[in-house]
Structure 1
């Protein structure tokens, strides 16, 4: 079976996205392009999602209390959940959206043109380690991001609202 252009270019994209140069430029260029294209296509297209699945997260700002829209790569899971990776392109600080989700876990995502209400949960311990292993298999460049920082990259699981497990 013949591979698509996206499938053939994936190793090159992974190599480029692992570089420090990409980490310096991408945080400014990729989200800006994604926001414009997402708005113009009424939520149906994210440019960055052509290589890596993506959502637009709308979360309440931890300090401002205002809605904050952020295009993000994600790892979809079986059962309709998603893992978000707070890599910040391998930059030293946690991305702002992670603090927003810690403070206000109720959020909304746009996924393939559909808006979904979700609850975010910061993953810790063995659950985080299992998710991190899956994330590295899913997109190996996250390992180079983690190697460049002195912080543990935050992982969140997004669960559709109403489908969260009961708390004992």
Structure 2
């Protein structure tokens, strides 16, 4: 099954880096993700058909209101995940990255299960290794950074102890 998934990813990944996908993806995918999550009670995500996916529950940097964002993630050992603020290669950082910078304690939902996490910005000296880790899962993903003209923010999410 893993071999089939890798083959499908390698065929679809180049399409996600096209100009057309970068124009349509930000418009169509978020409402589609919300609809599927609503219908499944939060247990399914469209993006999870190809890659590990989560819902990030963060606090708005300016508003203080809870914000939910559907993201791909890369597993990073027990209780840890990496998320990238690629924003479909747009020229500005996505809002959720500002939220994590202002309020690093957040939570994630994976398969409908909510987990408290702390977000840490990946340091400059770790970036290449982390990008290599991400690209093992989704080939060519760093191209979003090159296309956007900005340094994509990478965050490590680490599970907080239960209180």
Counterpart in 2 of 1:14? 13
Structure 1 unaligned segments of length 5 or more: list them.
164-168
Retained in 1: the 8 A contact 2:106–2:118? Answer: yes
Equivalent residue pairs, number? 162
Structure 2 unaligned segments of length 5 or more: list them.
none
Counterpart in 2 of 1:144? 143
Counterpart in 1 of 2:83? 84
Counterpart in 1 of 2:29? 30
What are the within-5 Å matches in structure 2 for residues 85-124 of structure 1? 85-124=84-123
Retained in 1: the 8 A contact 2:106–2:116? Answer: yes
The C-alpha deviation readout for 1:54-84, integer Å capped at 9, x for no partner, is 1011100001110001101111122120000
CA RMSD in angstroms, aligned pairs only? 1.9
Q: How big is the shift at 1:122?
A: 0.7
Q: How big is the shift at 1:8?
A: 4.2
What are the within-5 Å matches in structure 2 for residues 68-79 of structure 1? 68-79=67-78
Q: Secondary structure at the match of 1:132?
A: helix
Q: How big is the shift at 1:25?
A: 0.7
In structure 2, what is the Cα distance between the partners aligned to 1:114 and 1:52?
17
Q: Secondary structure at the match of 2:133?
A: helix
Retained in 1: the 8 A contact 2:9–2:138? Answer: no
- Work out whether 1:45 is the aligned partner of 2:44: yes
Q: Secondary structure at the match of 2:142?
A: helix
In structure 2, what is the Cα distance between the partners aligned to 1:103 and 1:64?
11
Q: Secondary structure at the match of 1:58?
A: strand
Retained in 2: the 8 A contact 1:17–1:141? Answer: no
In structure 1, what is the Cα distance between the partners aligned to 2:40 and 2:138?
26
In structure 2, what is the Cα distance between the partners aligned to 1:157 and 1:7?
24
